[in-house]
Chains A and B, each alone.
Chain A
């Protein structure tokens, strides 16, 4: 009786029940995937263990290591220079270094493999002009190491953004104190700035690792066997559903271990930025330092954005007469449509979960909010697999033949990218004092009105940020779209991939260019908002 009385007394019951049901609905594919693992025959597991697992594991970890190393190198140093030093084109670099996020990893891989190939412009030029040297460059570039560097170039902006915010907020106090204690600028960077920014850098690196685990297009093109390509191969090429499920569960297990390490690193190095502690005055670099600054800021931008962008632009111009504009327009519209619908849904659901967590103050609501964020750390291929299993194996759902419909595609998108939309809203909501809600309550507002009249307008910048980051991620999305798209439905991403995988790089260029242009415009706007927030904090 006491428990029932307590439940009856809980405030905001309708909100809590509503959000719990939505969370359960979103988690169904993963629950269903795990429930299936117990029904798998042992022979399938033995086959996986003996023949595939070692190769998949080695490649996955090796690729993560190379990508992480280059993402750190390309991300951390420019972030420090832009945050701490005054130099010409600083503002330009701050935006430019962010732009490789607009280039999907698979486009980066297709572009460079074409550029470096025997028939590509680099080797052709060398053969024609310097025949003696040309043999040095005549190599097979479709190697895992090259792929790691290319993924590093495409993904370093995650590290750059996280480090940039952290470096800016660490503030003058620590810098002045360190200088006063006699630290040179190099020692200051390695002994104070990097250790203090470790949690931020690691959170950026965590996103890089998750993207590598999720990667399909680039690894498939380079012929590197990872867990994700293994799931596709087992499921679609070999028709071996059991192996695909086992690999998917293994991949989730691996992701949870990395997630656990990430949480542990945060716990160990808790650090709060003190209030009003921004870097007050940018340092003027010495003349020697200018060389480092311009080289280290230009290199990731040139390699990560400028070269692929101009190469694709050049291909598009050369192929201008053959571009099917109506098809390009149709696919752009498809991409924008599914991305917009999914993003709006993601923002609404993310806001609902976070708001219920805020007003109910129940551990259950916090748990729900956290567990639904797991979608982002689960690779798209695994989610795709879980969704297909769910909608084909459960009789109640399979009778509707939903697989291959927009609903299922959007459902999978929402689960996969919910955490992306949630993150900026969460950090913004946490900054609002509880007294805002309490004041609004005493002024006569109910929970919905408080959300509408207080939190919605106050957090509008965070909502716009959430919209842009989610939209750009969805625009580039490949594995889920390949698995779940409706029949005869293409997006810019799938079309780019399909042409590229058939070695039709020129034909794919206009679609790649559309993704890059739409993404770049949105990211430049996003960078403007982020800088506004850094300056306002």
Chain B
């Protein structure tokens, strides 16, 4: 194990802990996405790992070295962890080169040219932060973190301040940089697409607890509970033999004839296909279609039995 977090507890108010007994581990070179809604404690988690916050109990071990437990607290500057913050904090009084080599040990200076070319910043080294675009600032922060060959890279909502138009290309670039340098990375995000596209594993976090920790395919197809199922995309409730089952929209086929009939509410064009919202009894369903339907039109659908996911009846009320 490269990173091992055991029974991590963090609270500001003892009665209402932000993180309750978190356990997970990360293999070397893996990208793990820490997925959760706003205010769930994602940034606090990163601060605990990096040493900017002390934990209340539990332990953090990185590269066989304990960083934090009940007796030991390794200072952030001694942890070999790179942290890329959400707001791209490049120091305004330093140009790009000086930002990247800021407080850098001599042994890492040799990495500068490689890092600049990897992040495609070679021609911008003399520019100051205010002369760089959001994407360039983002890449500069990543270069500053990676140049010192960290044992772990922490990315806090790295794409949330970028325009949608450039977000995808920057996400791909960053993925390539991380994979090229084989850096173990934890990416905190609330955007499911970021997680699905670049993470080797996804950790879903809710109500202070780990809900599921697995690879994206398993997470999508076999969610541990209905919260995990919902957070990775919409699901449709289907009652069978008095038990609640759920089915993903893309698993639903529109057919000529079937027992399952839906009444169309609306069809929204989404470029490749239409996203159809329809009523099934009292439930609202979502599915995809290559052709649009009119409101109140009745359509027949079918799906494979093995694509149905079962959760206990009170699952949705739990979260």
Question: A-side interface residues toward B, CB under 8 Å?
Answer: 9, 433, 435-436, 438-446, 449, 453-454, 457-458, 460
Contacts and interface: CB of A to CB of B under 8 A. Distances in A.
Nearest to B53: A438
A442 B52 contact: yes
Given A9-B54, A439-B83, A444 B103 contact: yes
A444 B54 CA distance: 17
B76 A441 contact: yes
B81 interface: yes
A435 B87 contact: yes
Given A441-B75, A449-B103, A458-B91, 7 more contacts: A436-B89, A438-B76, A439-B83, A440-B102, A441-B51, A442-B81, A453-B103
B93 A433 contact: no
Instruction: Kindly state the interface size class of chain B when it binds its partner.
Output: 20 to 34
B102 to A, nearest CB: 6
B158 interface: no
Contacts of B81: 442
Interface string B92-113: 1100000000110000000000
A439 B82 CA distance: 9
A442 B54 contact: no
A454 B92 CA distance: 9
B144 interface: yes
B77 A438 contact: no
Contacts of A445: 77, 103
A442 B89 contact: no
Contacts of B76: 438, 441-442
B50 A442 contact: yes
A471 B13 CA distance: 46
B37 to A, nearest CB: 21
Among A440, A442, A444, chain B packs the most CB atoms within 10 A around the CB of A442
B161 to A, nearest CB: 12
Contacts, number: 55
Nearest to A441: B76
Contacts of B77: 441-446
Nearest to A459: B93
Contacts of A440: 102-103
B92 A438 contact: no
B87 A433 contact: yes
B274 interface: no
Contacts of B51: 441-442
B54 A458 contact: no
A458 B82 CA distance: 23
Among B54, B89, B93, chain A packs the most CB atoms within 10 A around the CB of B89
A443 B144 contact: yes
Contact of A439 (B75, B78, B85): B85
B85 A435 contact: yes
Contacts of B93: 457-458, 460
B86 interface: yes
B89 A439 contact: yes
Given A443-B102, A444-B103, A454 B91 contact: yes
Interface in B54-80: 54, 75-79
Interface of B: 47, 50-52, 54, 75-79, 81-83, 85-87, 89, 91-93, 102-103, 144, 148
A453 B51 CA distance: 21
Contacts of B75: 441
Contacts of B102: 440, 443, 453
A442 B91 contact: no
B103 A442 contact: no
B86 A435 contact: yes
Nearest to B105: A444
Which 4 A/B pairs are nearest by Cβ-Cβ distance? A444-B77, A435-B89, A435-B85, A457-B93
A76 B102 CA distance: 46
A323 to B, nearest CB: 45
B117 to A, nearest CB: 22
B64 to A, nearest CB: 21
A460 B93 CA distance: 10
18 contacts: A433-B89, A436-B91, A438-B47, A438-B50, A438-B83, A440-B103, A441-B77, A442-B82, A442-B83, A443-B77, A443-B103, A443-B148, A444-B78, A444-B103, A445-B77, A453-B102, A454-B91, A458-B91
A445 B93 CA distance: 17
A495 B102 CA distance: 52
Contacts of A438: 47, 50, 52, 76, 83, 85, 89
Contacts of A439: 83, 85, 89
A457 B82 CA distance: 24
Contacts of A458: 91-93
A448 to B, nearest CB: 12
A460 B77 CA distance: 26
A453 B103 CA distance: 9
B184 to A, nearest CB: 16
Contacts of A446: 77
A435 B50 CA distance: 13
A442 B146 CA distance: 12
B62 to A, nearest CB: 13
A443 B77 CA distance: 6
Contacts of A433: 87, 89
Contacts of B79: 442
A441 B50 CA distance: 10
Contacts of B82: 442
A518 to B, nearest CB: 30
Contacts of A436: 89, 91
Among B47, B81, B92, chain A packs the most CB atoms within 10 A around the CB of B92
A454 B103 CA distance: 11
A314 B50 CA distance: 68
A37 B148 CA distance: 62
Among A438, A439, A440, chain B packs the most CB atoms within 10 A around the CB of A439
A454 B85 CA distance: 17
A462 to B, nearest CB: 13
Among B47, B86, B93, B144, chain A packs the most CB atoms within 10 A around the CB of B93
A9 B77 CA distance: 18
A302 to B, nearest CB: 41
A117 B148 CA distance: 76
A402 B51 CA distance: 48
Contacts of B144: 443
A449 B51 CA distance: 18
A457 B81 CA distance: 26
Contacts of B83: 438-439, 442
B210 to A, nearest CB: 25
Contacts of A443: 77, 102-103, 144, 148
Nearest to B94: A457
A442 B53 CA distance: 12
A400 B283 CA distance: 88
A440 B75 CA distance: 12
A454 B144 CA distance: 16
